[in-house]
Structure 1
Amino acid sequence: MGMVLADPAMLEKLAASMDRTAGEIPALRRKASELDVLSQVGHLSPLLSYLNETARELRKKARILRTPSESPFGALAQYGLPAGLARKPGAGKEFETGLKKVLAKFETAVPEARARAVKEYVEGLTPEQQAALVVADPATVGNLDGVPPPLRFAANRISIQRQYEKEKRLLERLPENSPAFARSLARVKALGQFLSPRIQKIVDPGTGKVVRREIPRQFLVFQPDAGSIAHSQSSPFADGKIAEVLGDLETAKDVAFRVPGVTNRLDNFQSFADGGVELLLNGDRVERSDGAVISWLGYDTPELGDSVDPAKAEVGGEELRAFRRGVGVNLRLDAKVGIFAHSYGTLVTSKALQAGMEDVDKVVFMGSPGLGPNIRSVKDFHLPNVRFYAMRAEGDTVSYTQGHGPDPADFPDITRLDTGAAFGHSQYYDGKAGAILGLRQVFAGQYDALKSTDSTLDEEMIGATEVRSLVGFLQERLTPEEVARLGGDIDPIAQGIVNGQMGFTDVSGPLYETLKDHDLLDKVPPRELFSEVNSLASDVAAKETYKGMLKGGSSESKALLYAGATKAASWGLAEVVTQPVEVVAKSTRAVNNWTQFAEVLAEGDLNTETWKKSLDKGSDAVTATIDLLNPF
């Protein structure tokens, strides 16, 4: 039976009843202690936890369902639009017809020309007529470039209210054990959040004091049925498209377009939107009055399984280019525009730039999987007046794997920004991790204050170089279509290595099974696969030994000696793990050979000339020693 969701008051009363019961338990425990029978009432502690947790969940669901019902006229009032004419039935039909004529006339025009024509038509109407148009066709007005932002905000609020009510009715009919219940509940919660005011912390221009105020949220795009359906059973709705504006878009001197990566949808949009708030804050965590941020989820983002396919980036790039040009008619002529792209969104941005999105001043690529195989430097964009920046946080597997081409953080002609204490793929907008400082400085045009970095993969994390090599090994043997077929199977393997959840010797089996499942073992023979994995595993072991011994106070020569011996031993052990029957003898010989080399090193017979030549070619100390001593 489905949960009765139509009465939040009932849920709150039930939660209050649980609170009263929970409040009596401490007194019962004290009484039991006085009577020396505390051991007989051990069930009271877990009961207290259950009551408290359940009461919290009931209140959470009640809050979701208490989103106020609002009429279209209430939505107009939220953005200062008059509702007089709009209240008359059919009053907006005339203006809706006029708008459709404009759209038909400019159907094949470039985005900015079409947007300017729309802007001219809508601004030619009186405020009352504009409001009537919003009520007559909110779905069109809310998503139409050229329409003044306040009108789009009001139109989308009307559409969100209607979608909220529709999806809430559907949710009420779903049993809690339905595969679609969790996603549907998340959608209803998200829609409710969109209708609720946000708290803005600003400096009052009149008093100069910092104040907090509730303001309605501002959505420039709302298309709940757009995009693909990630999982048909658990996702009864399409992923949706949505874009939110923070700040005054028409007066801002700095405007940021944020472009997200994979698995972003309407139901989890709030998490992405929170990053926009962080970007707009200054050092005192007060919102800038001269900036505007657009968190744009305006393309069909891929799931993990199809993130290696560039197809959605191609389409998304065209959509981003058109959106940027269309919105441009509502910006100040001297506004500085920045694109802040993350993950797969960097590929989308790359496609947009290559398709002609030239009207930007600065671009930041964060955690990029690559910008396409044809983009190997900033010069390849042929945009000399655009400032380009890149960020790669320590432990960011997406950047390490380079699934879509060279990592822009390694481009010779890009400015790579420091990421502070940010770790992994999702902390670039974290207010405490440090990377956000550089993003805010780029946004505000404070270029002289930027802090750059040039750390290598090995300096960031031992194993990162080998992860990149492993992915490159597979890409060399497979076509892009075959790589796409592997889907997201390789991604969790790479993440497991970087996160320390598995070693390189642990990945041989999963990789073998993945290639086998996709019928690709003819392209990547098991012997070659195991040999590559073993080689990379031994490199990791050597580097870990070298780093650990230096940290422990050993000399560099001793650390190099033991790193070399570790490489040999780990190679042998790795082969025993991956190919136990065929290579035991070879493994034993390898370890014995390395023992002899170690003895030579200990006696001071290291061929320093060969070692120095390797260093001169750009190798690090450990790699130079490996090159000198590797018997394979």
Structure 2
Amino acid sequence: MRRYARTLVTAALTTTVVAGTAGWASGSAQQAVTGVPAGTEAWRAEGLPDPARMTAAQVAAYFRGLSPARQRQLARAHPSVVGNLDGAPLPLRYEANALTAGPRYAGRRILAYDPRGRGQVALVHGDLARARHVAVVVPGSDVDAGNIAPLTEKADALRRAAGDDTAVVAWAGYTTPVGVGVDAATGKLAEAGAERLTRFADGLDAVGAAEPAVFCHSYGSVVCGLAAHGLKAKDLVVLASPGMRADNVRELRTTARVWAAKDPSDWIGKVPNVRFAGLGHGEDPTDPAFGARRVPADDARGHDGYFAAGTRSLRAFAAIARGEVR
């Protein structure tokens, strides 16, 4: 009875927020970009193996069977495919994506680039092939290929704090919500993003990169929650989370250690932690009953302050990325 009453109350709160908060109205519906890379039709027409039928491990095996000259030939002829094939050699993906992205990310190692929709991109900070430690940062709303700075700033900050033996991937590899509209309150985009994130991590594993710690900000934590059961990661860190579409850590069905951070000034604390009629993302991961390890974040400021220099949260993130916290 108490749980039923709580559901009614939180449902009413959710309805009030959606109906009465101008912020919700600021968002617009997005169509998730999914499926095989752009250019796959031309790739298939040459009799090349269908990306839709290959795991990341099979992609890696396919490229190992090619000569370096043939690999480069494919990257030049089909850059949009090779650059986005999880499991393809890292240098080859960098080369292919440099061709399709042009100068807009000058000096960056571009691990993925898809111009469809608002655009998706993954940028590598550091030497991913040789790094002892790897971290992946998954963003929330409003981040895309044309607005990547909020994500790269977080990735840069994490790498500076973690040190040169850590590579950090700024992964804007899914269609994020725009604003805090209905897309941000539902799981549709997160479901599509979870598939892409899982495949991306499979690709890192297939090329021998270190198992990553994955840092999931805001709506990105919904993506990570849905991906958790199949995600190759040693740590899963959520911050500014509206929920992970799970009632507790057990429901995530992951072997990764799960961490959560929320600072007292973050507006996300005012969002009802409920799932009702398709809206909301469930329990607060920082609630002790959820079962996540708590990351100190009392000196962070606002919704985006967790990676600020000198904060306890950033120091903790760096220690997690380096595997120093047991």
TM-score in same-fold range (> 0.5): yes
Q: CA deviation at 1:387?
A: 1.1
The Cα offsets for residues 299-347 of structure 1, whole Å up to 9 and x where unpaired, read as: 1101121211221111111221122113320124xx3321100000000
Give distance in 1, aligned partners of 2:223 and 2:70.
38
Q: CA deviation at 1:97?
A: 6.4
Which letter does structure 2 place at the counterpart of 1:121? Y
Q: Which amino acid aligns with 1:431?
A: A
**Are positions 1:300 and 2:175 aligned together?**
yes
TM-score by length of 1: 0.41
Match of 1:381 among 238, 252, 255: 252
RMSD: 2.2
In structure 1, what is the equivalent of residue 321 of structure 2?
443
Once the two structures are TM-superposed, the CA of residue 252 in structure 1 deviates from its matched residue by 2.3
Determine the structure 2 residue equivalent to 1:421: 299
Give the Å deviation of 1:261: 0.3
Match of 2:238 in 1: 365
Q: Distance in 1 between matches of 2:74 and 2:219?
A: 37
Which consecutive unaligned segments of at least 5 residues does structure 2 have? 1-41, 274-279
Residue ranges of structure 1 left out of the alignment (5+ in a row): 1-95, 165-190, 198-216, 226-237, 449-632
Structure (1 or 2) with the larger CA radius of gyration:
1
Describe the shift of the 1:381–1:271 C-alpha distance in structure 2 as closer, same or farther (beyond 3 A): closer
Please tell me whether residue 310 in structure 1 is matched to residue 187 in structure 2.
yes
Question: C-alpha separation between the residues in 2 aligned to 1:100 and 1:313?
Answer: 34
Residue 288 of structure 2 is aligned to residue 411 of structure 1: yes
Taking structure 1 as reference, are residues 146 and 386 closer, same or farther at Cα in structure 2, changes over 3 Å only?
closer
Residue in 2 that maps onto 1:222: 113
SS of the equivalent of 1:341 reads strand
Structure 2 distance, partners of 1:307, 1:327, is 28
- 1:99–1:118 CA contact under 8 A, matched in 2: no
**C-alpha deviations, 1:531-573, integer Å up to 9, x for none?**
xxxxxxxxxxxxxxxxxxxxxxxxxxxxxxxxxxxxxxxxxxx
Within a 5 Å distance, the mapping from 1:107-506 to structure 2 comes to: 107-109=52-54, 114-161=55-102, 191=104, 194-195=105-106, 197=107, 217-225=108-116, 238-282=117-161, 287-289=163-165, 291-303=166-178, 304-305=180-181, 306-332=183-209, 335-354=210-229, 356-357=230-231, 359-372=232-245, 375-383=246-254, 385-401=255-271, 402=273, 403-412=280-289, 413-447=291-325
Counterparts in 2 of 1:100 and 1:116: CA distance versus 1, 3 Å: farther
CA distance in 2, matches of 1:422, 1:97: 47
- Considering Cα pairs closer than 8 Å and 6+ residues apart, tell me whether 1 or 2 has the greater RCO: 2
Q: Distance in 2 between matches of 1:425 and 1:254?
A: 26
- Residues 526-605 of structure 1 mapped to structure 2, 5 A cutoff: none
Counterpart secondary structure, 2:136: strand
Work out the CA distance in 1 between the residues paired with 2:53 and 2:220.
27
Aligned residues, how many? 275
CA contact (8 A) 2:161 2:314 kept: no
Alpha-carbon contact 1:366-1:392 (below 8 Å) kept = yes
Q: Secondary structure of 2:111's match? A: strand
Is the contact between residue 251 and residue 331 of structure 1 (CA under 8 Å) also seen in structure 2?
no
Contact 1:145 1:323 in 2 (8 A): yes
CA distance in 1, matches of 2:303, 2:43: 48
Q: Using the aligned pairs only, state the percent identity.
A: 31
The letter of the residue matching 1:397 is: W
Distance 2:263 2:45 in 1: 47
Cα deviation digits, residues 443-463 of structure 1 (max 9, x gap):
011115xxxxxxxxxxxxxxx
Instruction: Give the SS at the match of 2:56.
Output: helix
Normalised to the residue count of structure 2, the TM-score between the two structures is: 0.78
Question: Given residue 208 of structure 2, which amino acid in structure 1 is its aligned partner?
Answer: L
What displacement does 1:102 show? 4.8
Please say if residues 241 and 265 of structure 1, whose CA atoms lie closer than 8 Å, have aligned partners that are also in contact. yes
